[in-house]
Amino acid sequence: AYGNFAETGPPSWAPTINEERLKEQKDFFRRNRDFSIIIGVMMYLMNIIDASVDANLMDFDISDDLSMSVSPEIKQLNISQENTFGLKFVITLNK
C-alpha cells in the first residue's frame, strides 16, 4: 500500500490518508511483527530448556526417605593425640 500510495496518491475512498500516516502504520506493524517473532523464538527456547531440565531430573529422588543429620563430634588426632572438635554431617539415602 505504501508503494502504491507514493506512485498514485491517496485512494478515492480514503482521501484523508497521507503518506506520513501510512509510513507510521507500516513501521508500527513491522515493529510488532518483529517483537512477535522475537518473543516466539524466546518462548520456544525456554520450552527446550525446560524439557531438557525436566528430562535430566526425571530420576531425581524426592521421597521422604531422604535425610541429613548434623551432630557435633570430637576426634583425637593420631599424630599429636590432641582432641579436635568439628561437625559431622550424615546423609542417609534409602530406596
pLDDT above 70 as % of the chain: 75
pTM over 0.85: no
What's the confidence (pLDDT) of residue 9?
A: 64
CA distance 18 to 50: 48
What's the confidence (pLDDT) of residue 67?
A: 77
Q: Contact at 8 Å (CB) between 83 and 75?
A: yes
CA distance 85 to 59: 37
pLDDT band at 23 (very low <50, low <70, confident <90, very high): confident
pLDDT band at 83 (very low <50, low <70, confident <90, very high): confident
C-alpha grid cell, residue 20: 506520513
**Residue that is written with C-alpha cell 588426632 in the block:** 77
